[in-house]
Amino acid sequence: MIKLTARQEQILNLIREAIENTGFPPTRAEIAAELGFRSANAAEEHLQALARKGAIEISPGTSRGIRLCDTGQNERPRLAGARQMALPHPSLMQLSLPLVGRVAAGSPILAQEHIEATYNVDQSLFSAKPDYLLKVRGLSMRDAGILDGDLLAVKKPTPPRMARLSLPD
C-alpha cells in the first residue's frame, strides 16, 4: 500500500475524476488551476512525487502524459465504458513552437534567431497563441520565478499599419 500525503491524494483523485469524466488526464496547468497552485511547476513537482511512489506513470514531453498505475489503493469503481485514452487525440491539438534563441536575464548576450529545437505545447496554456520560444540565460529574473534554462513563450507584436498620406505642398 502506497503512503500518500493529503495533497497527493487530492491530485490523484483529480486525475481519476478527469479520466472518468473525459477519458483523459488533466494537464499540469489544469491541476494547478483546480488546486490553487501558483504555477504548473508546482503541479509537476507533486506529479513527480506520485510517480516516484508508483501511483502514476508520466510520459515525458506530453502535457497529458499521465497514466494511473493499478495500485488498488482507494480505487473507485469506474464508470461503464470509462477508460484512459492514449494520446494523441484530435481534440488535444498541441502547438508546435520552435525554440529560436536565448534571452538575457543577467549579463547581456547577443540575441540570435536560429531554431535549436521544436516543442509541442498544450494550447490551453495560452490566452493568445505564441509564435516561438526563447530560453532564459541568467538569474536576474529569479524573483519573478523565471530561472536559468526556463522557456518563455513569445508572441510577435503586430507591426503598425502604414498609410500613405498626400499632404498639400
Query: How confident is the model over 47-68, as pLDDT tens digits?
Result: 999 999 999 988 877 778 888 8
Residue 116 clears pLDDT 80, i.e. is over it: no
Domains of the chain by residue range: 6-68, 93-154
pLDDT at 117: 78
Amino acid code (one letter) for 54: G
Cα–Cα distance list, 57 to 4, 17, 66, 156, 166 (Å): 15, 17, 6, 36, 66
| Residues 83-112, mean pLDDT to the nearest whole number | 56
Contact 120, 153 (CB under 8 A): no
CATH number of 6-68: 1.10.10.10
Cell triple for 5: 500525503
Give me the torsion for CA of 101, 123, 28, 51, rounded to 10°: -80
Alpha helices by DSSP H, 36-157? 40-52
